Amino acid sequence: MDRVKVTLPDKDYEILIGDGAINLACLKDKPFETKKILVLTDENVAKLHINKIKKVIRSKHYYEYIIKSGEEQKSLINFEKILEFMLTHQFDRESLIIALGGGVIGDLGGFVASCYQRGIGVFQIPTTLLAQVDSSVGGKTAVNHSLGKNMIGTFHQPLEVICDISLLETLPKREFLSGIAEIIKYGVIGDLNFFCWLEENIDLLLNRNHLALKYAIKRSCENKRDIVSEDEKEQGKRALLNFGHTFAHAIENLTSYNTWLHGEAVSIGMCMAAELSNNLGMINQQSNTRLKNLLAKSGLPTRSDSTFNVDEFITVMSLDKKNTNGQINLILLDALGKAVKKSNTPKNMISEVIKSY
């Protein structure tokens, strides 16, 4: 089993990555006996995988809380219901949450854990590729509000993240590819060697070869770890993780979150950001094409095929919470493997890219 150590000023934890990691991570040997454990998951994951967790946890006080699946479940209503469940069952400050699921469960479970009695421990067991390489790492938690996604949340680092590759076998193809988009992002923004590895090994990854997956998940977690460790509370370098995302968030918003999965929108957004970098003379056409080819070969979308109203698109981009002083802050490329933050991109250059996608 591989281990990625995350070192933060006031907390260290490990990300364990491997086949059957939920068994190998020895959840069964952890001193859970006297603790109350709440396994939070959604209906899909419960049907497929919850028994595996139940089998390895030795606690006399094992509880399950199963919600419906879907982004809309990441809500204040569920947050309150889970807290009420824990209070009713007299969970105390030593109690633990195990968030077993995709990013929705990880964000919601992390948020509950950070608030219950001012903070209890949470184990993240991500079951989607996106959650294994992205949402479970870094300690961001959140729920959505009708006025904005992820607008209510905290930073709460997990006790441990356990990425069990075998859990990914049941993941639907589109969800799997959504995670591949975020993996490719790590290569593009800061790790050219990894990008080249992805170009050579993409077929193995798409066939869900366990060794290839293990390597790609590890490199992704290391890349995110390196960025997050330098900037735990998102004041600087962490913004680079947003490559492709300002465009993606606008695409998701303008298609009412019902057309593209997040990773698909990110794939299109990365193409737009690369195109803009190319138009601004920051990268050459060859780098631009290499990124698009890799995304296309993965089966990810490289354009939206919608006719967006450009002004509306720019207005939505301007609402991005990473903007400051009325400027649209964009993450662009100085080279393949080197992302940079730019705050003064001319609006007509942005419009041109939106029109052509």
Ligand X SMILES: NC(=O)c1ccc[n+]([C@@H]2O[C@H](COP(=O)([O-])OP(=O)(O)OC[C@H]3O[C@@H](n4cnc5c(N)ncnc54)[C@H](O)[C@@H]3O)[C@@H](O)[C@H]2O)c1
Residues 69-108 touching ligand X, rule: CB under 6 A, are 69, 71, 74, 101-105, 107
Q: Does 167 bind ligand X (CB under 6 A)?
A: yes
Q: What does residue 46 show for φ and ψ, rounded to 5 degrees?
A: -60, -45
Q: Does 109 bind ligand X (CB under 6 A)?
A: no
**Residue 339 within binding range of ligand X, rule CB under 6 A:** no
* Footprint on residues 110-139 left by ligand X (CB under 6 A): 127-128, 130-131, 134-135, 138
Q: If binding is defined by CB under 6 A, does position 219 make contact with ligand X?
A: no
Q: Is 150 in the site for ligand X (CB under 6 A)?
A: yes
Q: Judging by beta carbons within 10 Å of its beta carbon (0-12, 13-18, 19+), is residue 161 exposed, middle or buried? A: buried
Question: What six digits make up the tokens of 83?
Answer: 């807290």
**Cβ atoms within 10 Å of 90's Cβ, excluding its own:** 9
Which one, 47 or 347, has the nearer CB to ligand X?
47
User: Which CB, 153 or 337, lies closer to ligand X?
Assistant: 153
**Looking at 97, 171, 212, 268, which residue binds ligand X (CB under 6 A)?**
171
Q: How many CB atoms lie within 10 A of CB 355?
A: 11
The catalytic residues are 118, 140, 182, 224, 234, 238, 242, 245, 249, 262
Long-range contacts, stretch 282-289, CB < 8 angstroms, 24+ apart: 282/332, 282/333, 282/334, 282/340, 283/333, 283/334, 283/335, 283/336, 287/333, 287/335, 287/336
Minimum Å gap between C-beta 181 and ligand X is: 11
Q: Tokens standing for 203?
A: 């077929």
Cα separation of 166 and 175, whole Å? 15
- Residue 94 phi, psi (nearest 5): -90, -10
- Within 13 Å and on the Cβ side, how many CA atoms surround 339? 28
Compare residues 126 and 275 and give the one whose CB is closer to ligand X. Answer: 126
Strand, helix or coil for residue 305: coil
**In the complex, least distance from residue 327 CB atom to ligand X, rounded to whole angstroms:** 24
Residue 189 in contact with ligand X, rule: CB under 6 A: no
Interface pick for ligand X out of 30, 140, 225, 245 (rule CB under 6 A): 140
Rank residues 81 and 149 by Cβ distance to ligand X and give the closer one.
149
Q: Which residue is nearest to ligand X (CB)?
A: 103
Contact positions vs ligand X (CB under 6 A): 42, 44-45, 48, 69, 71, 74, 101-105, 107, 127-128, 130-131, 134-135, 138, 140, 150, 167-168, 170-171, 175, 178, 262
